[in-house]
Amino acid sequence: MGSVFRISSVDKLGSGIWIVKLVLNGDEDIELRRLIDHTKKEIQGSNDFFTLGSLLMKMGEHDKAEEFYLMMLKTSSLNDRGIGAIYNKLGLSYWERRNNAQALLYYNKSLDIYKKCLPAGSASLATVYAGIGAVYKAEGDLDQALMYMQKALKIQEKSLLPDDPGLATMYNNRKYSVITFISIVSVADECNERDTS
């Protein structure tokens, strides 16, 4: 087994050159070992830049991750699925930074590509639908949020095991979207009743 390093910092030096400072970590760090095992499973099969972008996002370094993703779009010979995955990651990055307009732009680019190259029941489509639903929920457009969450849930119900955490998350998101929607409708009804009295 290879050595384990922690990323200390990531800096852009110039045109396409990055300096990544690493610190050697001991094998006795059990929490890190579990994280490494989980991350390996999660990003297995990805290319190195995509993996680095994902790790930077997990570290909260969204601007640096975005630079990597945009560089990949310009320089890599990615297939459509890879381009869709990058747009999805950019959508997530903008959503996490509360820039809903940009998040929606990138999620929709990802959705357009995925609809052309993936089967209708693809888990990747469910991920994009859930992301779009989250953006609409943050914007307060609960009708759209619920519609996209239901699309994601429909795919996930068919493709995931009943005890999968992703399915539980979708049920939870849908539940809160419905509860919020019902609350807003109730308040609107009360306001209408007061106005007509």
Average pLDDT per block of 10 residues along the chain, 197 residues long: 72 83 72 65 62 85 90 81 91 94 97 92 88 92 88 76 52 51 50 58
Residue 148 forms part of a structural domain: yes
Q: What is the pLDDT of residue 58?
A: 85
Q: Look up the domain containing 162 and give its range.
A: 103-197
Burial of 65 (0-12, 13-18, 19+ CB in 10 A): buried
SS3 content of the chain, % helix, strand, coil (to 5): 70, 10, 20
Angle at 195 between CA 189 and CA 197, to 5 degrees: 105
Residue among 79, 66, 152 at smallest CA distance from 116: 79
Return d(Cα 110, Cα 83) in angstroms, integer. 8
Q: What is the pLDDT of residue 190?
A: 57
Instruction: Provide the domain count of the chain.
Output: 1
Q: What is the pLDDT of residue 28?
A: 63
Residue 6 forms part of a structural domain: no
Return d(Cα 173, Cα 51) in angstroms, integer. 27
Return d(Cα 60, Cα 63) in angstroms, integer. 9
Residue 92 forms part of a structural domain: no
Residue 174 forms part of a structural domain: yes
